Amino acid sequence: MRHVDFSPLYRSTVGFDRLFTILDSLAQPEGGQTTYPPYNIEKTGDDAYRISMAVAGFSEDEISIEAHRNVLTVKGERKEEANEEGSEVLYRGIASRAFERRFQLADHVDITGAVLKNGLLYVDLKRNIPEELKPRKIAITSAPAKARQIEAKAAA
């Protein structure tokens, strides 16, 4: 994949450093992150989103969810299962490896809840834009008519 140099844009923009860093990181291969566990991102409303992750075999106490500085981190670590006495696993096809998945969140996105149901982890997100950042309608009023002065009075 081609590498795009954003350095000329750094000189002519103010406040877009984070955007260019995100674009730069998208162009680079992820540091060893695999496609496990698979996930979906859905838009469930005007300002509501849901991340669904397939985490079959993990329980609530084996999964941790953390949000810090616009990054949502989901970690899973399975406890080692003790086989019943006299049994051994001949083939292991169900993944039980630990994982860590990170999601970049936009500004003003909050996590409203997380539910583990039928092997799927649902993380609900809501975008809460503060009132001062929402667009507002500005009323237009007519300007008062100025009185015209036809002749200047001489100073006495």
- 34-80+91-130: which CATH topology? Immunoglobulin-like (2.60.40)
Q: 38-68, pLDDT tens digit by residue?
A: 899 999 888 899 999 998 888 899 999 999 8
The count of C-alpha atoms lying within 13 angstroms of the C-alpha of 13, restricted to the half-sphere facing its C-beta, is 11
Q: Which residue has the higher pLDDT, 91 or 17?
A: 91
31 Cβ neighbours under 8 A, 6+ residues apart: none
The count of C-alpha atoms lying within 13 angstroms of the C-alpha of 119, restricted to the half-sphere facing its C-beta, is 8
**Global pTM?**
0.63
DSSP 8-state symbol, 151: S
Segment 89-102 shows an average pLDDT of 81
Across 11-15, 131-135, 143-147, the highest mean pLDDT is recorded for: 131-135
Domain boundaries, the chain: 1-32, 34-80+91-130
